[in-house]
Structure formats: structure tokens, C-alpha cells
Amino acid sequence: MALLTLEDIKNEVLGHGFSAQNYAARIDNWANEAQQKIYRKADLQENIRSIEIETESDIDSYALPSDYQRLISVLYDENSAGISGANLYPIETVKELDEIDKELGTPTRYFITYLPDQNNRFILFRPYPNTNYKIILRYRGNPSMLSGTDTPQIPVDYIYLIVEYCLYKAYLAEGDIEMSNTHKAIFDKDLIQFVGDVQSDRQDGPTQVEGAWPGYE
């Protein structure tokens, strides 16, 4: 059976003898989890996105998009206050952030933070903006959540990786460690192959920004 949609993936996993009543919703969750992990590991070019932030005077904190995964670059818009294209540079630690005076000026530094009570990430600018600036954020985003007949946002030839991940999780939930490990090993091995294919396909393209490639947990 061709694997094209989330429904196809779910039917394929259930076809291994798992109860739809017990596993249908869990497969949906695992499929989305797998797609996110594939996106992060493969560093897909399709998930490079950008937004424009227009600052306000004396406001230092701005929410990042809900699909934010990690940052690529922060720079001024070409029409922004005579400083077009200038990069802003990261503040590495909370301690360093706290040591910077909270004065007004043209922002030259930024810090990414997470506020659990608001369940969102924010970017903070230093100095505090003293006027309206247009700042462009390029970032890697997470894929859209799958539901129903949605198609995973990875190449069709590798959608089976999501099935392998779901089977790994389903057998683990059943306590069948041997089968769980078998499907986990297939997922791990073929994901490495997928990453190699992605890198090979763009070896003649522009240099990509380095980033962390966390494995799945």
C-alpha cells in the first residue's frame, strides 16, 4: 500500500495487529512526533522561514512564532533606519543579559528566552529599542501537525520512516522489547540514509547554517 497520508500510516500500523480503540489516537501523536524528529535530524531546507518584527520604543520582548524550532539569523531590514542588513549578535547567558544596562538605543544584541507560564519563546533586544526598527528573523520551523488525510511534509519515499517510528512506540507500549528494538533500529539506520540523501541533493547549493541535530528520545 502506498503511504501518502496520516490515515495510510495509521492503517499500516494497525495492520500489525494493534487495536484501533487502544492505538488510533496514539499513532496520530507518534506520527507527529516522528515527523518533528525527522525534520530536526535532516535539517530540511523546506522548514527555513522568516518573520519581520517591528520594534516599539522601550519594549524589549517580542514573541517568536508558534512553529519556531531554532534561530538562523537576526538582521535589520534593508529599509530600517539606515542600518540595512546589519546583523545582531547573540547574548550567550542569562548572567550576561542581566549585566547589560537597560538603556535605550539601537539594538545590537538579542537573547532567546522561554516563559513557561506563557508556553512560548521570546526574543529580547539590547539595548532596548529607542524607536521603530524592522528586524528580520530567519529560523527553522517545526512541521505542521498532521491529522486525518494530511500528507507528511517529508519526501514520499521516506514516509515509511514514520511507520517504523510508530511501530517502535506501539511494540514498546505492548512490552514487546524485541520487536520494538527491531523497528527502532530500522528507523535509526534509514534516517541516517535519509540525512545523507538530503545533504547529497544540496551539495552544490549554498552553504547551510550549522545547527544541533538532536536524536529522538
CB 13 within 8 A of CB 170: yes
User: What's the confidence (pLDDT) of residue 215?
Assistant: 35
User: What's the confidence (pLDDT) of residue 50?
Assistant: 92
User: What's the confidence (pLDDT) of residue 130?
Assistant: 93
Q: Is the confidence at residue 6, as pLDDT, over 90?
A: yes
Task: Identify the band that residue 81 occupies on the pLDDT scale cut at 50, 70 and 90.
Answer: low
User: What's the confidence (pLDDT) of residue 39?
Assistant: 85
DSSP for 1-60, written as a single string: ----SHHHHHHHHHTTT--HHHHHHHHHHHHHHHHHHHHHHHT-GGGEEEEEEE--TT--
Task: Identify the band that residue 140 occupies on the pLDDT scale cut at 50, 70 and 90.
Answer: confident
Q: Is the confidence at residue 214, as pLDDT, over 60?
A: no
- For helices 177-201 and 20-42, give the axis angle rounded to 10 degrees: 30
Structure confidence by residue, pLDDT tens digits, 21-74: 999 999 999 999 999 899 888 777 767 889 999 999 999 999 999 888 888 899
